[in-house]
Structure 1
């Protein structure tokens, strides 16, 4: 717990508007991806079917889309950012690995790789000074 406090203090001391804009853009990207997975269910179905077919494929499709949409909104406003990133991390890691294990797609690999790097960065950095987390912390 002390490590998280120290990370928050460091992040709040070194925060800037461009990092907050990056967090907001990343959250918007995840939210848009979630919407695209709901509207284009065949696309995610094709991705998951190349991996040999899962018995619970519909459950995975809905989990991924819902996690991206809710997590994206939470990352945008900076509310429970690290928890949202923890929920996104398995999805993003699997998205990155699927491109190497099954069918390689450069565009998807770049998107998943950048998303993975941003997840790791914001997992340590947190939501920053211009966020709901910081506001609620200051209300204590």
Structure 2
């Protein structure tokens, strides 16, 4: 717990507007990706097709119903800076699997690049936190 408090103190003393805009852009990107997956479920099923070879218990349908809502809800939370670290922790398995799936099936270079960049930004914000211009900071200062 002390590590999180020390990270928050460091992040709040080193907060810059471009970093907050990057966090907000990440939230919008994840939300739009979730909306895209909801509107094009077959595309998501096609992306997850390499897993079907190893899927014996119907986990593919679970993934389809986990990925889109996790992106949408996580994107909203990340945009507002509310429970940012928790929202990003929910995104990490999705992004890691997105990278792995590109090596298991047909290589989509654009999807691989997006997943790697998004994973890097998510890892940064998992360490950095939501920053000073966020709902987390606002609610913390309300006390």
> Could you say which TM-score interval applies, normalised by the shorter chain?
over 0.9
For the Cα contact (< 8 Å) 2:102–2:112, is it kept in 1? Answer: yes
In the alignment, which residue of structure 1 is the partner of 2:119? 116
Q: Which runs of 4+ in 1 moved over 4 A?
A: none
Given the alignment of the two structures, is residue 85 of structure 1 paired with residue 118 of structure 2, yes or no? no
Given the alignment of the two structures, is residue 133 of structure 1 paired with residue 132 of structure 2, yes or no? no
In the alignment, which residue of structure 2 is the partner of 1:49? 49
In the alignment, which residue of structure 1 is the partner of 2:3? 3
Q: Offset of 1:69 from its aligned partner? A: 0.2
Give me the whole-angstrom Cα distance separating, in 1, the residues matched to 2:106 and 2:14: 40
Q: Offset of 1:102 from its aligned partner? A: 1.9
SS at match of 2:107: coil
Give me the whole-angstrom Cα distance separating, in 2, the residues matched to 1:96 and 1:6: 31
TM-score (norm 2): 0.94
Instruction: Compute the RMSD of aligned alpha carbons.
Output: 1.0
SS at match of 2:113: helix
TM-score (norm 1): 0.96
Q: Offset of 1:101 from its aligned partner? A: 2.2
Q: Which runs of 5+ in 2 are unaligned?
A: none
Correspondence list, 1:64-103, <5 A: 64-103=67-106
Report the count of equivalent residues: 140
Q: Offset of 1:43 from its aligned partner? A: 0.5
